[in-house]
């Protein structure tokens, strides 16, 4: 059985549709922001997932609302699709040339995010670097998960962001793996 979810989020600023499948397949991301498309596709691919992820900007403000609303919907879709009989924890350390990035997740029902990426540029491909930690926080809140990302060896800004999303994807792929049991001494997550 395919674990999947469709989440739509509509505000006065954006219309978001996330069609997520927790299995490999085709990925289409259309947000109007090139680098946001790139890191989102990277995240989904390294998670071992697939789907269609679209954002229509209703009211032009800036990249913040597009990125935030997409990741709020993505976190909700991940929570709905994953179920409770999952591995719960995942971690990955990903090299990308000179950069080394670490991500660790706990799909526990307790949201929080801690992201440390030492960007030296304000924008990468139309996406402000300050919004990247906020995207992760938005996803953690609706997914109800703990997410840590840290760049252990900094370098090129593109590489730091991409390695971080590869690591997060790989960590989520581990954590969302079906096990058939709840990994908690309490017997429940959350």
CATH number of the CATH domain containing 73: 3.30.230.40
In this prediction, residue 78 has a pLDDT band, given cuts at 50, 70 and 90, of very high
Q: Tell me the two tokens of residue 152.
A: 């252990």
CB hemisphere CA count around 138 (13 angstroms): 17
Q: Tell me the two tokens of residue 105.
A: 């997740």
| Residues of the domain holding 65 | 4-175
Domain membership flag for residue 186: no
Domain membership flag for residue 107: yes
Asked if 98 contacts 156 with a C-beta cutoff of 8 angstroms, the reply is yes
DSSP 188: S
In this prediction, residue 185 has a pLDDT band, given cuts at 50, 70 and 90, of very low
Domain membership flag for residue 185: no
What pLDDT is stored for residue 43 in this prediction? 98
CA distance 132 to 36: 9
Domain membership flag for residue 143: yes
Domain membership flag for residue 114: yes
Residues in the chain: 190
Residue 184, pLDDT > 80, answer no
Domain count for the chain: 1
CA distance 82 to 27: 18
What is the mean predicted confidence (pLDDT) over 123-152? 97
pTM: 0.94
Buried b or exposed e, range 30-39, using 16+ CB within 10 angstroms: ebebebbbbb
Domain membership flag for residue 148: yes
């Amino acid at each position: 059985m395919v674990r999947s979810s469709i989440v739509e989020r509509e505000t006065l600023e954006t219309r978001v549709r996330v069609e997520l499948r927790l299995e490999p397949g085709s990925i289409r991301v259309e947000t109007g922001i090139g680098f946001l498309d790139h890191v989102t596709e990277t995240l989904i691919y390294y998670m071992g997932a697939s789907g269609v992820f679209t954002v229509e900007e209703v009211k032009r403000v800036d990249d913040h609302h597009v990125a935030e609303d997409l990741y709020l919907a993505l976190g909700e879709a991940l929570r709905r699709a994953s179920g409770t009989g999952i591995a719960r924890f995942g971690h990955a350390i990903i090299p990308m040339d000179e950069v080394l990035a670490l991500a660790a997740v706990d799909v526990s029902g307790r949201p929080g995010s801690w992201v440390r990426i030492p960007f030296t540029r304000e924008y990468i491909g139309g996406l402000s670097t300050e919004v990247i930690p906020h995207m992760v926080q938005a996803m953690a809140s609706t997914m109800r998960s703990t997410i840590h990302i840290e760049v252990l060896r900094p370098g090129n800004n593109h590489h730091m962001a991409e390695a971080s999303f590869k690591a997060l994807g790989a960590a989520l792929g581990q954590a969302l793996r079906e096990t058939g049991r709840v990994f908690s001494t309490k017997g429940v997550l959350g």
